[in-house]
Amino acid sequence: MTVATGSPAVAVTGRDGGGAGPSGADADRLHVRPRRRPRVQAGWLFAAPSLAIILVFIVYPITQSLWYSLHEWRIGAAKQEFVGLDNYARLLGDERFWGALRITVVFAVVSVVLQMLLGYAAAAALLRDSRLTRFVRSVFFFPTIVSLATIGLVWRFLLDPNIGLLGGLTESLFGAPVPWLQDPALALPTVIFVSVWKNVGFTMVILLAGLKGVPVHLYEAARMDGARGRQLTWHVTLPSIRPTLLFTTMILTINSLQVFDLVYVMTNGGPVFSTDTLVTMMFREGFANFDIGYASAIAWIVFLIILGLSALQLRLFRYRDVD
């Protein structure tokens, strides 16, 4: 059909035919869509500074330490020789490594168990809100915010057999001061006690939050079924706070396996290596003996132990909707 306007007539072809339509090339040209320029997601731009910090200060040092562990890397040496897995084989024959591993495991197991038991007992006892319970919670939590180095120094002076307050008390009670940090049989239990004393407040606060999140109707239903006392704890409370128990146990285990500040300040691994942990041994090999390759191998052993125990804890405390 022909549409007449003020300008010369223009021929428009409709579906019913009448006139020649555009050629195939012209039709393709008419339907070509402009290319979209690739856009950078805004989220990556916001995350870029954090990712850069992680790459520079976490990923790069980790990969570099793995590279060091495969070399006989000594500070100041003219040549850093590639030795493969010799540093790891050297660990297997090092009695001090096995002693440090045993002490680290004992420290982690005893301290984590005591912190979980005492933290849960304190959280259950201070569950109800009142002025007294809020004050006691603050007292328990206060050591948590103090650095481990400060705590270690304070307890080191308190336990000193000559000038310490507890040294004077034990001398008045037993006739002679007790060498808490100088006796190889007492040094490790003493350091464990200080670690538990410092961190039990953290455990209490986390478990207290978990206990407050347990629905009240679960207790009511269990009481209607005849559950009382320990039955409520085993069948209602503990299953309900399983994710909280998992988080707390993992954090305490990782911190215990990496303990350094407290041991270094209080005993420096002594006496006679009775408190020498894997991390204090790694520090001594790397920054006292300048054997960076051997120290890096110890660091990777600690990493693998933490990774394995974390995977085991995730499996033991796994939470499913059907529970």
Q: Distance between CA 231 and CA 238 in Å, rounded?
A: 10
pLDDT digits (tens, 9 = 90+) for 291-322: 999 999 999 999 999 999 989 888 877 655 44
pLDDT for 315 equals: 83
CA atoms within a 13 Å half-sphere pointing along the CA-CB vector of 211: 19
Q: Is the pLDDT of residue 89 over 90?
A: yes
Q: Per-residue confidence at 270, pLDDT binned at 50, 70, 90?
A: confident
Specify the residue for token string 């000594």. 74
Element (H, E) at 160: none
pLDDT for 76 equals: 74
Higher-confidence residue of 144 and 173: namely 144
Beta strands at 71-72 and 2-3: parallel, antiparallel or unpaired: unpaired
Element (H, E) at 91: helix 86-92
DSSP sequence for 73-85: -BTT-S--EE-TT
Q: Is the pLDDT of residue 258 over 70?
A: yes
Which of 244-248, 257-261, 317-321 has the least mean pLDDT? 317-321
Give Cα separations from 161 to 39, 112, 164, 175, 295 (angstroms). Answer: 69, 28, 6, 12, 34
pLDDT for 216 equals: 87
Q: What is the DSSP letter of 22?
A: P
Q: Distance between CA 248 and CA 252 in Å, rounded?
A: 6
Round the average pLDDT of the chain to a whole number and report it: 85
Q: Is the pLDDT of residue 75 over 60?
A: yes
Burial 274-299 (b: 16+ CB within 10 A, else e): bbbbbbbbbbbbbeeeebbbbbbbbb
Q: Is the pTM of this model over 0.85?
A: no
The number of angstroms, rounded, from the C-alpha of 258 to the middle of its chain's C-alpha atoms is 10
Mean pLDDT of 263-273: 91
Phi-psi region of 18 (alpha: psi -120 to 50; beta: other; left: phi over 0): left
Neighbours of 164 (CB within 10 A): 19
- Of the chain, the percentage scoring pLDDT greater than 70 comes to 86
CA angle, residues 59, 61, 146, in degrees to nearest 5:
95
pLDDT for 37 equals: 58
| CA torsion, ordered 48, 49, 52, 58, to nearest 10 deg | -120
The number of angstroms, rounded, from the C-alpha of 36 to the middle of its chain's C-alpha atoms is 44
Mean pLDDT of 5-11: 47
- Of the chain, the percentage scoring pLDDT greater than 90 comes to 53
pLDDT digits (tens, 9 = 90+) for 118-132: 999 999 999 888 899
- Does the domain spanning 94-316 belong to CATH 1.10.3720.10? yes
Domain boundaries, the chain: 94-316
Mean pLDDT of 269-281: 93
